[in-house]
Amino acid sequence: MESFLPIVGLSLGVSLASSALAAALGIPLAALLALTRFPGRGVLVVLVNALLGLPPVVVGLVLYLTLSRAGPLGSLGWLFTPLAMVLAQAILATPIIAALAHRALEACWRDYGRTMQAAGASRLRALPHLLRMARRPIATALLAGFGRTVSEVGAVLVVGGNIAGFTRTMTTAIALETSKGNLELAVALGIVLVGISVMISATVLVLTGARR
């Protein structure tokens, strides 16, 4: 087994980048769904919630076919690179962040929206205040998105290829070591992965003051 730190580093890098990408897409989408009314909004809400259960291996397969040389985006050369893994995980995490943040913002808007509007704030101006008020449930939404990405194995295996030193993450390394019968090593890697996940969750919760 090759050195351990690059695997941890790649896992964290890919998960953080994909969570950030998912947040950049999911939170604006959540705000749009919570604060505005437009035709097709109801359908979009149902769709976002339905995609919570998006099977990673299906996302991996569809992205694989898209990024493959024989596929529409093949010329980019992204297949079997960390970038493909970031895209796959962002697709998986975006509905989670959007759906949970939508509920949080919707509740805040219902409770304080009229007051804010009466005070002369537009929806756009009210948004930063709402985000601050809803920071704890939104932190939970981001952690749920991060949790999905850091623990995921099906999609990153298909689009990343589990290449040693390049696209091997904690989860694909655990799967590989299990398949080689190195169960002790697989369990050790699993403990490290859980430890990292707990540390990140704790940090975010402390920062947002949501310890209770």
Q: Does 73 bind other proteins (CB under 8 A)?
A: no
CA-to-CA separations, 154 to 44, 45, 46, 157, in angstroms, rounded? 26, 26, 25, 5
CA 167 to chain centre: 18
Within 25-54, the residues that bind other proteins by CB under 8 A are: none
Q: Which residues contact 5 (CB under 8 A, 6 or more apart)?
A: none
How far apart are CB 77 and other proteins at their closest, in Å?
6
How much of the chain is in helix, strand and coil states, percent to nearest 5?
A: 80, 0, 20
| Interface segment toward other proteins; rule CB under 8 A; list 14-22, 114-122, 148-156, 188-196 | 14-22
Are 67 and 159 contacting, i.e. CB atoms less than 8 angstroms apart?
yes
CA proximity to 157, closest of 46, 54, 10, 57: 57
Given candidates 59, 60, 63, 78, which one binds other proteins under the rule CB under 8 A? 78
Given candidates 163, 198, 202, 207, which one binds other proteins under the rule CB under 8 A? 163
Q: Does 89 bind other proteins (CB under 8 A)?
A: no
Cα(161)–Cα(148) distance, integer angstroms: 19
Given candidates 41, 180, 187, 195, which one binds other proteins under the rule CB under 8 A? 180
Given candidates 11, 15, 81, 197, which one binds other proteins under the rule CB under 8 A? 81
How far apart are CB 40 and other proteins at their closest, in Å?
29
Cα(157)–Cα(34) distance, integer angstroms: 35
| Interface segment toward other proteins; rule CB under 8 A; list 98-106, 115-123, 131-139, 162-170 | 162-170
Q: Does 69 bind other proteins (CB under 8 A)?
A: yes
How far apart are CB 163 and other proteins at their closest, in Å?
4
Looking at the chain, how many residues does it have? 212
Give the count of residues interacting with other proteins (CB under 8 A).
Answer: 34
Cα(101)–Cα(127) distance, integer angstroms: 12
Binding residues vs other proteins (CB under 8 A): 2, 13-14, 16-17, 20-21, 24, 68-71, 74-75, 77-83, 86, 161-164, 166, 176, 178-183
